[in-house]
Amino acid sequence: MRQLNAILRHILHLPFKNLTLNACMQMQQFHCSTSHLKHNKLWNLGKINHIALVTPDLDKSAALYRDVLGGRVSNKQPLPEHGVTTVFVELGDTKIELLHPLGEKSPIQSFLERNKSGGMHHICIEVDNIHEAIKDLKAKNIRLLSEGPRTGAHGKPVIFLHPKDCDGVLVELEEA
Amino acid sequence: MRQLNAILRHILHLPFKNLTLNACMQMQQFHCSTSHLKHNKLWNLGKINHIALVTPDLDKSAALYRDVLGGRVSNKQPLPEHGVTTVFVELGDTKIELLHPLGEKSPIQSFLERNKSGGMHHICIEVDNIHEAIKDLKAKNIRLLSEGPRTGAHGKPVIFLHPKDCDGVLVELEEA
C-alpha cells in the first residue's frame, strides 16, 4: 500500500508530502488542464491552511464548534500585534480560525461593523516559496495588499491578494 | 512509523481514517476541552469537504486558480438539478468549489445580486452520521434549512444550518 501510494504520488507529481492517498485518488478523476504551461513553477500552491471567520462573540462561537458540533477547539489566543484574538478548530488537514477584534486598531473591526452577526473573512492557502509567488503575481497584475511579505499570525511570511482580483474573496498566501 | 501512527490515533481517538500523522501531531498541541462530555458521540465531525465561493464569471475564476495560482482545477460541471455550474479546485484534503448560477431558480442568484463581485458562500464539513447529527442539532436548538437531509451536489445527504445560529456563516454538513 505504501508503495502504491508513493507510485501514485510520483505519477501525479504532488508537491506536498502530507496529501493522503484518498486525495491522490480523487485527483485522478480530474481533467487536468494545461496550467503547467502557463503557471510559473518556481512556486507551488499547497493545501488550505485555514478559513478565517470573524465572530462578534468568540466564546459563543467556540462553544458552537466544540459543544454543539463536537470539534477539536483550542483555547483563546490573544495576538495583540495582529489585533485579533483567535480560536482554532482542527478539521482534517486544515482548520477554521475564529477571529475577534483585539485593541483599538484591529484590522477586522470594520468587517465586524459591516457584518454584525459575523461572517467568512478570508481563506489562507499555503505556498512553498512566497517570494517567487509574489514576483509571479505582480507580473500577472494581481494586486497585493502589501509590497512584500509580512509576518502572519502563525509567525510565517504571508501576503494578501486584493479581493477585487480574486472574485470578491480575500485570499491569503502563507509560506508553509 | 505506521505503528506509531496507529498508536497516536488510538490515543487521540481520531474518528477519520485519512488524517495524516502531521495532523495527529498538531492536535497534541491542543488544549482539548471537555467537549466529549457534552457532545453527542453518536456522530462525529470530519474534515472540511469544501469551501464554496460564488463568482460572477466562472471562466475567469477558474483561470485565476489554474493559470495564476497554479491549482488543480476541474472542468465546468453543470448541475441543473441544483441550479449551479461548478468548478472544483483541489487543495490538500479539501477543495474550493467555484459556483455560478444556472437556470431560472438558482439558489445562489440572490447572493450574487447582493455580492456582485462574488464572495464566500458557505463551508461544508463532513459528518459520519447525518441523521444522528440532525437529531442532536435539533435538540440543541440549532435551526436547519430543511426538515431532513437532502441530496447534495455530490449525490450525498446534506443539511444546511441556519447562518443566524452559526455566527453569520452558512454551514453545510455532508455525510461522507
Q: Is residue A129 part of a domain?
A: yes
Mean pLDDT for A11-28 is: 41
The answer on pLDDT for B7 being more than 90 is: no
In chain B, residues 67-106 whose CB comes closer than 8 Å to chain A: 67-75, 88, 90-94, 96, 98
For residue B112, is it within any domain? yes
Mean pLDDT lowest among A2-16, A57-71, B35-49? A2-16
Of A64, A14, A66, which is closest to residue B169 (Cα–Cα)?
A: A64
Q: Within 13 Å and on the Cβ side, how many CA atoms surround A111?
A: 20
Asked if residue A12 is part of any domain, the answer here is: yes
- Enter the ipTM: 0.79
The amino acid sitting at B172 is E
Q: What is the mean pLDDT of chain A?
A: 85
**Is residue B9's pLDDT more than 80?**
no
Enter the pTM of the model. 0.80
Rg from Cα positions in chain A: 18
Flag whether pLDDT at B36 surpasses 60.
no
Nearest CA-CA partner of A47 in A160, A126, A123: A126
Number of domains in chain B: 2
Residue B149 has pLDDT above 50, yes or no: yes
User: Are A58 and A21 part of one and the same domain?
Assistant: no
Kindly state whether residues A9 and A74 are assigned to the same domain. Answer: no
CB B167 within 8 A of CB B122: no
In-domain check, residue A169: yes
Is B37 part of a structural domain of the chain?
A: no
Judgement on whether residues B69 and B137 belong to the same structural domain of the protein: yes
* Integer Cα distance of B133 and B49 in angstroms: 16
Same domain, B66 and B10: no
B8 and B75: one domain?
Answer: no
Tell me the per-residue pLDDT of B82-139, one tens digit each, with 9 for 90 and over: 999 999 999 999 999 999 999 989 999 999 999 999 999 999 999 999 999 999 999 9
Strand spans (E) along B25-170? 45-54, 72-73, 77-79, 84-91, 94-101, 119-127, 150-151, 157-161
Q: Are residues A81 and A163 in the same domain?
A: yes
Query: What Cα–Cα distance (Å) separates residue A61 from each residue in A74, B77, B143, B176?
Result: 12, 34, 15, 24
Residue with cell 507551488: A44
Q: What percent of chain B has pLDDT over 70?
A: 78
Do B61 and B6 lie in a common domain?
Answer: no
Instruction: For residues A68 and A27, state if they share a domain.
Output: no
Q: What is the pLDDT of residues A82-113, one digit of tens each?
A: 999 999 999 999 999 999 999 989 999 999 99
d(CA B7, CA B21): 11
Q: Is the CB of B20 inside 8 Å of chain A's CB atoms?
A: yes
Assess if residue A63 is contained within a domain: yes
Q: Where in the sequence is the domain holding B100, given as residue range(s)?
A: 45-175
Cα separations in angstroms, A111 against A61, A99, A115, A122, B175: 17, 11, 6, 11, 32
pLDDT of residue A153: 86
Q: Do B92 and A19 touch (CB under 8 A)?
A: yes
B76 within domain boundaries: yes
Best residue in A2, A19, A45, A170 for a mutation probing chain B (most B CBs within 10 Å): A45
Beta carbons within 8 Å of B71's beta carbon, 6+ residues apart: A35, A45, B65, B89, B90, B91, B96
CB of A61 within 8 Å of a chain B CB? The answer is yes
Residue B143, classed as helix, strand or coil, is coil
Mean pLDDT of A146-169: 95
Element (H, E) at A174: strand A171-175
**Does residue A150 fall inside a structural domain?**
yes
Give me the residues paired with residue A90 across strands.
A72, A95
Q: Considering only CB atoms, which chain B residues are within 8 Å of A168?
A: 55, 115, 117-119
Q: Residues in chain B, how many?
A: 176
User: A56 and A142 share a domain?
Assistant: yes
Write out chain A residues lying below 8 Å of B39, CB-based. Answer: 66-70
Residues B7 and B71 in one domain: no
Put simply, the answer to whether B16 touches A92 (Cβ < 8 Å) is yes
Same domain (yes/no): B84, B171: yes
SS3 state at B172: strand
DSSP annotation of B39 reads S
Instruction: Give the pLDDT confidence score for residue B39 in this predicted structure.
Output: 75
Residues A55, A15 within the same domain: no
CATH number of the structural domain spanning residue A68: 3.10.180.10
